[in-house]
Structure 1
Amino acid sequence: MKRREFVQYAGLGAGALMVPSLMLGNNISAEALLAPGMDVAVKKRLADVALNTAKSLGSSYADARIGRYLNQYVFTREDKVQNVVNTESFGIGIRVITNGTWGFASTNDVSENGIKKATEQAVAIAKANSKIQKVPVKLAPVESYGEVSWKTPIKKNFKDVPVSEKVDLLLSANAAAMKNGANYVNSALFMVNEQKYFASTEGSYIDQDVHRIWPTFGVTCIDRGTGKFKSRQALSAPMGMGYEYMDGLDSEKLDGPAGIKLYRNSYDMVEDAALGAQQAKERLTAKSVEAGKYDLVLEPNHLGLTIHESVGHPLELDRVLGYEANYAGTSFATLDKWESKDFKYGSDIVNLVADKTQVGSLGAVGYDDEGVKTKKWDLVRNGVLKNYQAIRDQVHMIGQNESHGCCYSQSWNDVQFQRMPNVSLEAGKEKYSVADMIKDVEKGIYIAGRGSYSIDQQRYNFQFGGTVFYEIKDGKIVGMLDDVAYQSNTQEFWNSCTKICDESDYRMFGSFFDGKGQPSQVSAVSHGSSTTRFNGVNVINTGRTI
């Protein structure tokens, strides 16, 4: 299942049948989610079995990842519960370098004997692969951290919240949408806890406890007379937080144009569902956009997806080097552009950063899945391409000697590889609000929320829709529009960036199931920004045919 299909199906409330099977693991009870994991001293002893076995068989390097992955998904539709899914997956993955070549094996038999057998298999795979390996693996050095730990700084663990309370919240959101004119509504809560232990022959023993949450819904309104229907998806963002995101412990709500409520650090699902129904109903009679050039005012929940596709993916080094060409495409941001040191990815005010330490983000961890401490670094500074995203066995290819700390595996039984960190657009430095931005626009469109999109395999030419659209005329919002999508190419688009709101408007968008690799894996990643203006962008009408 492709990630965009999953988002669509989840929005349709298709229940657990639409959750990627690789995310499920074994079904367990809600009470079993609370069971304590393996003691850290036991993890260390078992990890050492893998490391010592690998060294005894001639490996120059080895790492072991013991993982316990817990998931809870709740699905509802109108006044009914569709499904509640609780899963657990537990096992160990062992990666080795033998004869200069990678080998990997995994097992759910987390015993000394099971781990020894899996390690022997990993070494055997490496030795077999070494017969055709032309260039030995070269790892960037990494600090030995000893025994350390890291936890997502949550205030309320989703596992401690009764399922009945979560169901009541979803059904209350559904009821609010129905009361405000929705004909159909569905909602879902996705909650994840990754308990990960990493150990390597370089002396690091890292225990991490990672939490993520994603509330979402879809509402549909129908004009019975014409048979026309319109939908509106949630304006929520998946977050690297606990259940406090849902109950307003850190409530912060911003008022957007045309009555849109914008959420940061907490999410009022009932309020958003009620407004979602009103806006879906309003879309039934909204004016169809006239194609042409417009100044676009893009709010963060929308712009995050554009950042993801036009910045995050094209600046993955393995994609740049062609390693992803068979499945996920290549990149226009080739090495010669970076080597020139003056390639204008965007206008002078465009500063795009990668950051695995960003609090509340989906990608936030203390250490990546090969034991590298996470950090923040520039991708684009003052509009100029500065760097890529690379891990320990890649950075030497661009003349660097330090991993960027963005290696990840979706589970214990998948090999870790380079994954997108949080990629974000820095806020404007001067005080500047969304209201100020709209006042400065003569002919434009304000776009909030994500919609359908298309982008070529080089992440260059693209088209993006959105959730809701409002016409801006002579500095004022004058009404809702429909059938809006904009077209551009990555370099042209980011060079048309003329203004960015300040830090007070900064928010994050997230992708819970971003796909990459063969066999395909998913990862979670956030993209932060403030509301941003792009001038003279080509807008098409998606509702008209020739």
Structure 2
Amino acid sequence: MKRRDFIHLSGMGLGALATSGLVMMGNPVSAEQLLEPGMDPAAKKVLADIALNAARGKGATYTDVRIGRYLRQNVSTREKNVQNISNSETFGVGIRVIANGTWGFSATSDVSPDGIKSCAETAVAIAKANSKLQKEPVVLAPEKGHGEVTWNTPIKKNAMEVPVKDKIDLLLKVNNSAMDNGVAFVNSSLFIINEQKYFASTDGSYIDQDIHRIWPTFSVTAVNKGAGGFRSRQALSAPMGMGYEYLDGLAEDKIMNPAGFNSYKNSYDMVEDAIGAAKHSKEKITAKSVIPGKYDLVLDPDHLGLTIHESVGHPLELDRVLGYEANYAGTSFATLDKWKSGDFKYGSDKVNIVADKTQPFSLGNTGYDDEGVKCKEWDLIKNGVLVNYQAIRDQVKILGENESNGCAFADSWSSVQFQRMPNVSLKPGTEKLSPAEMVKNVEKGVYILGRGSYSIDQQRYNFQFGGQLFYEIKNGEIVGMLEDVAYQSNTQEFWNSCSQICDKDDYKFFGSFNDGKGQPSQSSAVSHGSSTTRFDGVNVINTGRNI
């Protein structure tokens, strides 16, 4: 059964849930409540076994249980004022079953023995109702039980434990530093998430995970008072799977980029970046407007990550390839016949792209996915050739495989898990090459940093991408800032134009903190790693000045 049909047929269960007092975005709590210990894993195991036994007693042949506590803290400021401080918590259980060869799902915020027993029985009833319209039974790839295991994001400093005052002080310092350097407007924010997730299944897994993510960001705007126009620059930070050490590390792993200022790997100097953003915003006002034409592009990782996300990550989601996401987010040009051919040139021989939820510090880093599958790395594109997709336990049979890729995810205990994008990353070059050395070999090009506006078609093929900062390259040197830059291409043409990739010393992450997919829509967080990369002969357009 297609996932959208499953969601539709499960409507009676979801409708019942809508009246049970669930708060999908979380209940407001104090900052102190975020630090209260969650339920002990032993107590969770007792409750999980109640669900597994109740579902089995009603005829389920497979059951998984997810007990989740989701904590969120957001702090935002503008200029010299605090705009918002929010703390939220949501806690509950989601139960998924197979009965009569068909999926059923139910969830409840009543995390008690009686509440969980009732929820499990409801999930089985939904599965049996759905089975009347099921054409083929669900077939799961085998997964050996992992027993009782734990996995934690290897943080050094829990961001939830840092006093809110310290976070406000940092953000206001960011704002003041930008305004002291001549910008008119600035806002800054800090987003912190802690997911305490427990998974149990009839395969014999009892997995307790504690996952942390953090995202510091800002936007500054300089005003041209004489002409009445303005220019802005956003933070060049990447959201990360880390604790507050991301901000406390004082960016010890800085990388000097070819434009002459610092970028950051696994720590981030927010104040330094804000000062740079203020200077860049003012410089952008008088920067030369690009002349349209063909250019060699040198793309920084904090820009290229979004292009990877849209032109590789999404089109290689198997459910999108099969048309399951057509109603919400489109399909994919990377159809199964291209993969079956064994020689579809997605990119040049230099392009090696992997999916990997085990990368340290990444947003997708976790030990096990939401189906209890141990996470791993696998090839999507190897030496430019399409070799695989992203698939989960009930999909891999379509590819003739018998092992899940381990990329199932649900954004809440109240959401059903389905295939979500893992970290999708471009492997660094094997030969020693720095970004500065790469630029020296470019006669006519543009160096691009930061995420900008973009557009891509429903099959993830034809696209246009902008950025935050653009620098003209002439005869191997950066000669000045450009504005109004966007590049146009199609996915296959673009990746086949890849001619050079810097080595591992330049490798860093771009991240998407809120990536939407599915109906009902869910949001996930995913990173994309790469080194600075060159693409030859790409069409650059002028987007038109607004000052």
TM-score, scaled to structure 1: 0.95
Distance in 1 of aligned mates of 2:311 and 2:40: 43
CA contact (8 A) 1:24 1:71 kept: no
Distance 1:222 1:249, change over 3 A: closer
Q: Paired residue for 1:346? A: 347
Counterpart secondary structure, 1:259: coil
Q: Paired residue for 2:225? A: 224
Alignment of 1:490-505 (within 5 A): 490-505=491-506
Distance 1:444 1:22, change over 3 A: farther
Quote the offset at 1:22 in angstroms.
7.6
Question: CA deviation digits over 1:40-92, x for unaligned, max 9?
Answer: 11000001111000000000000000000001100000011101111000000
Distance in 2 of aligned mates of 1:194 and 1:314: 28
In the alignment, structure 1 segments of 5+ residues that lack a partner are: 1-20
Quote the offset at 1:119 in angstroms.
1.0
CA contact (8 A) 2:251 2:268 kept: no
Q: Paired residue for 2:539? A: 538
CA contact (8 A) 1:216 1:236 kept: yes
CA contact (8 A) 2:214 2:244 kept: yes
Q: Paired residue for 1:321? A: 322
CA contact (8 A) 1:47 1:199 kept: yes
Alignment of 1:453-468 (within 5 A): 453-468=454-469
Question: CA deviation digits over 1:295-318, x for unaligned, max 9?
Answer: 000000000000000000000000
Q: Paired residue for 1:6? A: none
Q: What amino acid does structure 2 have at the position aligned with 1:527?
A: H
Q: Paired residue for 1:143? A: 144
Greater displacement, 461-470 / 244-253: 244-253
Q: What amino acid does structure 1 have at the position aligned with 2:506?
A: D
Alignment of 1:389-408 (within 5 A): 389-408=390-409
Distance in 2 of aligned mates of 1:51 and 1:235: 46
Quote the offset at 1:412 in angstroms.
0.2
Q: What amino acid does structure 1 have at the position aligned with 2:204?
A: G
Distance 1:299 1:97, change over 3 A: same
Alignment of 1:82-93 (within 5 A): 82-93=83-94
Q: What number of residue pairs does the alignment pair up?
A: 525
Match status 1:208 vs 2:198: no
Distance in 1 of aligned mates of 2:141 and 2:180: 58
Alignment of 1:81-230 (within 5 A): 81-230=82-231
Distance in 2 of aligned mates of 1:86 and 1:250: 27
Distance in 2 of aligned mates of 1:200 and 1:349: 41
Distance in 1 of aligned mates of 2:24 and 2:467: 27
CA contact (8 A) 2:251 2:269 kept: no
Quote the offset at 1:384 in angstroms.
0.4
Alignment of 1:328-477 (within 5 A): 328-477=329-478
TM-score, scaled to structure 2: 0.95
Distance in 1 of aligned mates of 2:62 and 2:479: 63
Distance in 1 of aligned mates of 2:428 and 2:222: 36
Identity rate, percent: 72
Quote the offset at 1:120 in angstroms.
1.3
Q: What amino acid does structure 1 have at the position aligned with 2:69?
A: R
CA contact (8 A) 2:411 2:522 kept: yes
Quote the offset at 1:261 in angstroms.
1.5
Distance in 2 of aligned mates of 1:280 and 1:333: 39
Q: What amino acid does structure 2 have at the position aligned with 1:286?
A: A
Quote the offset at 1:265 in angstroms.
0.8
Q: Paired residue for 2:235? A: 234
Q: Paired residue for 2:257? A: 256
Distance in 2 of aligned mates of 1:239 and 1:449: 16
Q: Paired residue for 1:4? A: none
Distance in 1 of aligned mates of 2:282 and 2:102: 59
Q: Paired residue for 1:308? A: 309
CA contact (8 A) 2:466 2:486 kept: yes
Distance in 2 of aligned mates of 1:492 and 1:212: 35
CA contact (8 A) 2:449 2:469 kept: yes
CA contact (8 A) 1:471 1:481 kept: yes
Quote the offset at 1:250 in angstroms.
6.8
Quote the offset at 1:251 in angstroms.
2.3
Q: Paired residue for 1:488? A: 489
CA RMSD in angstroms, aligned pairs only: 1.1
